[in-house]
Every structure is written in C-alpha cells, then in structure tokens.
Amino acid sequence: MSTDVSPSPRSADRAAQRVYDALAADVTAYRRAPATRAADALSVLVLLGSIAGVAGLVWATLQVSSWPLGVLVGLGWLAVLTLLPRRVGLEADVAVLTREEHPAVHRLVATTAGLVGVRPPEVIGVDGGLNAYVQPLGWTGRRSALVIGLPLWTYLSPDQRVALLGHELGHLRGRDTASGLLHVTSLTLLARAEYLIGDDTTTDDRISVAMEADGTVVGRLGLAIQALLALPITMLIRLHLRWTASSRQHAEYLADRRSAEVSGTHAARESLAWGDEGLLTRLGSAVRRGEEPFAYLEELPAPTEAHVARLERPGAGPAPRVDGTHPPTHLRLRLLGSYFLPPGTGRPDGDQLRAADLELRALRPTFARGLREDLVSGYYY
C-alpha cells in the first residue's frame, strides 16, 4: 500500500524559492510561516473529522440490530484500523546513547541546546547515515530524539560539528518536530483514506481511464465513481502538500540561522557543504579499494569556503540538496551569506568537543560493517 505524503521535487523547489525570497527581504524574521499555520489548521480539522467519524462509528455499533448493519459497522472498524496512526519510534539501526555511558555527548548537546534556547532532547542516538536529524517520539511527539550520523560527524571539523548540532536543535526551538508530526499524521490519514477508496491510481488517472472508449460500461462507471469519491480527499492532499512544502523549507532556513547564531556564519555555511565533489562517490570508491570508511573520512579535509563558493554557483543540472525535504543548498548558503554572525559566546569549547568525539569514536566499529555494505551495494546513491 503506497501512502507517500512527500511533496514532489518540483513543488519543493518552488516552495524553497518562494520562502527564500520572503526571508531574504527580512533575514532577522523568526515569525511562524503562514503556510505552517495553514497546514496546522488543516491538520487539526482532519484529525477532528477523524475523531468525529470514530464517535459516529461507536454510536452505530451500539445501534446494531441486524446482520447487514453489523457487516457495515464491521467494515467501518476495519477501515479505522487501517487509518489508525502509528506510534513514532527510532529506526532499528539507531544506537541510543545513555547519559551514564556517554556523559560527554550529553553535556555537549545540553550546552548547545542552552545556546539555541531549547531544552535538550530526551533521547540522543547515533546511526551509520551521512546525515543528522531530530524527530518526535511516541503518540503525541512531546518527547524528541536527536540522531547523529557518525560518518558525517567524522568528516566535519569541530566548529562544523557545533553548527550541525545548532541546526538540528534549532528545529526543536522552532517546534518543527511537533508541527511535522501533526502534518504527517493528517496527511497519512488522508492518503490512506484515498487508497481505501480505490488503489494507487490517482484521481486524475481514474478520470482519464473512465473517459476512454474501451472497457466495459460497468468498469468505466466504477472508475468514475471512484474518481468522484476520491476527488475531495485528493484536493485536500494537494492543498496540504503545498502548505507543508513551504513550511518545511521555511523551517530549514530558520534552523540554518539558529545554527549560525551558535557557531558563526562561516562554520554554519561550511557545515552545509559536505555533499560537494561527490563525497559519497569517493567514499564508496575508497571502500571498494579496501579502505576503512571512517579512517578515510577522518583523513579528508573538512568542507571549506572554497567548497561553499562552488556550491553557491549551481550548474545546469539539478541543484545539490541534502534531500527532498531541504531547500537547494545554494539558496541556503546565499541566505546565510546575506548577513554575518560571529561565533556565539559560551559555545562548546575544545575540551567538550574532544571528550564527546572520543565517546563517539568508540562506536565506529559498531557501524563500520553496515556502512561498508551500504556503500558497496549502492544503497546511498
């Protein structure tokens, strides 16, 4: 069952440019994006509608007096089970770092969180990805987790590691994980409801097929009915995705600024340039030559302003970006370069960074084999 609720790359690019233009006119603004408020409101309406539907189903269950009605009510409860949101948890490959076994990492994150102005995440974890992220936990998302990709941490310089933490904790300061959970939950409900009406076929495709001359009259009529039933849900999904795309881009730009407030503009910009010059390709080639991946990453020079300058001038091909949820990297770099912020006072010192790095370094053997296998198999490409 496909219920992908991610905006299309083209939609994300348009949203990234719109939000960039708005923020470039006022780089100090931290106001909540109108698209975020709109997506929040629509998400709440969807969830309230779902709760009302369940309440109505409970009432209908209590009124069952015949087997045909019982069958309909049973089908309704099967639909509820299909639409029911799932509890959010960490991926299986994430190693949770306890405060007792990794006190230096927790102190480093707590210090950086204090500078960002947010409570530290309840859970800190490490995985073998070339990335880092924060996510909500549980049913309500009141708890949060920070997951550090050990390969990316290994590659970055100490100042860039502070910038990386500042960016991810900046998402917590902006309450982006709470909004994200709300948006994803409502979008998933809509996508599953659309799927229950028919299948993976889009409403537009159903209409096109129904209008074709071939096929039976009953088949065309069935597709037309599916299209009409799915149309309101499809339109809600499209509207939701448009607002969600703008909301995500806005959140990334503001997290970049909070990163710069902690680490300084230069470190924040350089921390975004890790994808320059095909890092994954070079790392994969090194692994195929028999080199140890973390040792290779550690020996590479960390991103510099020269990397940044190249990324600020995208070529004719697709603009580099971390993934589909992030704005193109050149727009992020340009927005950060439109103002200068010195490193924040009270930021983590060298001793804190070295102590945390020693604890994380000890975890490399745990992830080396999996990272090597992913690179050889082309998982990251």
Residue 243 CA: distances (Å) to CA of 40, 72, 140, 256, 290: 9, 35, 22, 20, 46
- Report pLDDT for 203: 47
In a domain, 197, yes or no: yes
Q: Are 362 and 97 in contact (CB under 8 A)?
A: no
Which alpha helices (DSSP H) does the chain contain, by range?
9-24, 34-62, 67-83, 103-116, 150-155, 158-173, 176-197, 203-211, 217-263, 265-271, 279-288, 293-299, 305-311, 329-337, 350-361, 364-377
**Owner of token pair 């991810």:** 168
Which one-letter DSSP state was computed for residue 240?
H
- Report pLDDT for 2: 42
In a domain, 2, yes or no: no
How far apart (Å, rounded) are the C-alpha atoms in residues 250 and 265? 18
Q: Are 170 and 258 in contact (CB under 8 A)?
A: yes
Q: Which domain holds residue 196?
A: 9-377
Instruction: Tell me how far apart the 2 most distant CA atoms of the chain are, in Å.
Output: 75
In a domain, 3, yes or no: no
**Owner of token pair 């639909």:** 79
Q: Are 247 and 181 in contact (CB under 8 A)?
A: no
Closest among 132, 138, 144, 120 to 168, alpha carbons compared: 132
- Report pLDDT for 210: 42
Residue 13 burial (CB count, 10 A):
20
How far apart (Å, rounded) are the C-alpha atoms in residues 298 and 11? 37
The region that residue 277 occupies, defined by phi over 0 for left and psi between -120 and 50 for alpha, beta otherwise, is left
- Measure the N-to-C terminal CA separation of the chain; round to a whole number of Å: 24
Cβ contacts of 4 within 8 Å, gap of 6 or more: 191
What is the dihedral angle through the alpha carbons of 275, 281, 283, 284, rounded to the nearest 10 degrees? 150
Q: What is the pTM of this model?
A: 0.86
Closest among 37, 9, 54 to 251, alpha carbons compared: 37
Q: Strand order in 143-149's β-sheet?
A: 95-96, 123-127, 143-149, 132-137
Q: Going residue by residue through the chain, which has 381 residues, state the pLDDT in tens, using 9 for 90 and above.
A: 344 556 666 777 788 888 888 888 877 777 888 889 999 999 999 999 999 999 998 998 988 888 888 888 888 888 888 888 778 889 989 999 999 999 999 999 999 999 999 999 999 999 998 889 999 998 777 899 999 999 999 999 999 999 999 999 999 999 999 898 999 999 988 888 888 776 555 544 544 444 444 455 555 566 667 667 778 888 899 899 889 988 999 999 999 999 999 999 999 999 998 765 578 888 888 899 999 999 999 998 888 888 888 888 776 556 677 777 788 888 999 999 888 889 888 889 899 999 999 999 999 999 998 898 888 877 655
In a domain, 4, yes or no: no
| 3 state SS of 319 | coil
Q: How many CA atoms within 13 Å lie on the side-chain side of 300?
A: 26
In a domain, 158, yes or no: yes
Q: Tokens standing for 355?
A: 């102590």
In a domain, 1, yes or no: no
pLDDT 10s digits, 304-357 = 888 888 888 776 556 677 777 788 888 999 999 888 889 888 889 899 999 999
For the chain, the domain total comes to: 1
Cα 109 to chain centroid, rounded:
20
Cβ contacts of 252 within 8 Å, gap of 6 or more: 325, 326, 327, 332
How far apart (Å, rounded) are the C-alpha atoms in residues 137 and 218? 47
